[in-house]
Amino acid sequence: MNTRGLLDQLLKSGQDLLQNKAGGAQNKSAAGGLGGLLGGTSGAGALGGLLSGAGGGALAAGAMGLLLGSKKARKVGGKVAVYGGLAALGVLAYKAYGNWNAQKGTAPQTEPQTLDRLPPAQAEQHSQAILKALVAAAKADGHIDDRERQLIEGEFTRLDNDQELQHWLHAELNKPLDPADVARAAGTPEMAAEMYIASVMLVDEESFMEKAYLEELAKQLKLEPGLKIELEKQVRLSAA
């Protein structure tokens, strides 16, 4: 299963989604998150309008739009696109580590091995963990029903017809939301940091359910409080 290219497309599509003048990107029903985007026929029609007659970039924007249903998430997605797609997560995590170490007045024994500094094979491991975190964060509002799952799976199939990836996505969408399960995918502290950044990007912090999920995820990822604050700060700065 190759997730690195797919995830990079999704993150780079943020700017396309922001700049689209018709359909879901400007539809007020999208403001309530993923459930708001797909909660009625107008949401599905908006997505269809976004994708009609479009190429791969808009397909990625459509798939990302299903996951990034809130205005905040789309704003962050567009900013991440400016930083350079998937590598942006690594850059943000690296900056957060640097600031955290500076505050402690200590120098790390080794440089943080964030995905922007890794060879392809290791970057792929990070990508799979990040995609798992993205899917889980999209479910955190508790409103993904069977219809929404079908729409999400359909758009990902159009974007990448890798059968192994499709089976994996189906399983992730249908399993109960479990922060501990998500956290187990973090094989290194750097992966945990990148997964948390991706989750912060998608979660609506004004939603009690989503905020509670994010807090539990940070606990399960065993993030140091100071590092957690810096990771959240980097997301806020990228969205400014």
The per-residue pLDDT for range 197-218, each reduced to its tens digit, is: 989 887 877 789 989 999 999 9
The per-residue pLDDT for range 59-111, each reduced to its tens digit, is: 776 776 666 654 545 555 554 555 557 888 899 999 999 999 999 988 878 88
pLDDT at 78: 52
Contact 222, 87 (CB under 8 A): no
pLDDT at 158: 86
Residue 2: exposure state from Cβ atoms within 10 A (0-12, 13-18, ≥19): middle
- pLDDT of residue 33 exceeding 50: no
The Cβ of residue 82 has, within 10 Å, a number of other Cβ atoms equal to 12
- pLDDT of residue 155 exceeding 50: yes
The per-residue pLDDT for range 179-191, each reduced to its tens digit, is: 999 999 999 999 9
Q: Helix 4-12 vs helix 56-67: angle between axes, to the nearest 10 degrees?
A: 90
pTM equals 0.80
Say which residue, 27 or 204, is predicted with more confidence.
Answer: 204
